[in-house]
Structure 1
């Protein structure tokens, strides 16, 4: 009888641990949602969305069940050149007034090895939603000595075609490449 009680307690304890979900949020000071695009086929221009947030909900320590949501304000686009940023916000490109928010919502995460995986989900901006697959690298988890919070680090890479989203349709590929590379680095801590 004693064995069954201990076994029952272990099972209940395991189920309670599995059922606990943790919500992690991005640290804006140590996270970046960026992109790169070729200009005139000879150089890459990079930029970022300065105002964005990421929420990760997971019950597994390896993040294999992670549900990820990203929201970015399109008007926060920043390439370091004000005139270019204003042009990107205009109807020629993102049309930030009509489509003020860019979103990503994951559908699944597939681990490829201990530290890497594929992130599947839907990316929405400029009034269009398309499925995307992104490469994820997990850099590890540490306790941040400044705030004593558990902190996890990730890098997300991928690419999309601007033509799929109707972005900058009047600009030929030789001026601005159709491929836009996504480069995101993020630190997350459990939401309090």
Structure 2
């Protein structure tokens, strides 16, 4: 059984037996009786042999195909990680703003915990977090006026910070570091 698997792998990965062009196609038909000796449980692997295969510079490239698939998957994962890191920095900004905006009470405690969690999850350099913290202080210093004039609108300032172009600029500036 192991010998049959090894011979099948050799057959699938050997450029001399692969389907690359018309001449090789004739050669593969001549080797078809070898494939008939496979046990029925391995018949699905025979279909792999009959599939058209990518060729690069005249050589069999099953390995190249696998590489391309894995590379595109890896690129998608890297991109997804960058998006997640940008979201984490945005959430850090919101948390640090709430923590500084509400110096006492339960909101401060919860926001402080969230700040620590987002720093631990983050991949940005320390400078990015410092810049975001300074930006949060600037947003909290802004004068927002409520209709009744009694509220500081701290939560509104923090939400505006998390959606601001200034924060986007910081995220873009440090994205190459992650």
Q: Which has the higher contact order (CA 8 A, sep 6+)?
A: 1
Higher relative helix content:
2
TM-score normalised by the chain length of structure 2: 0.29
State the structure with more CA Rg.
2
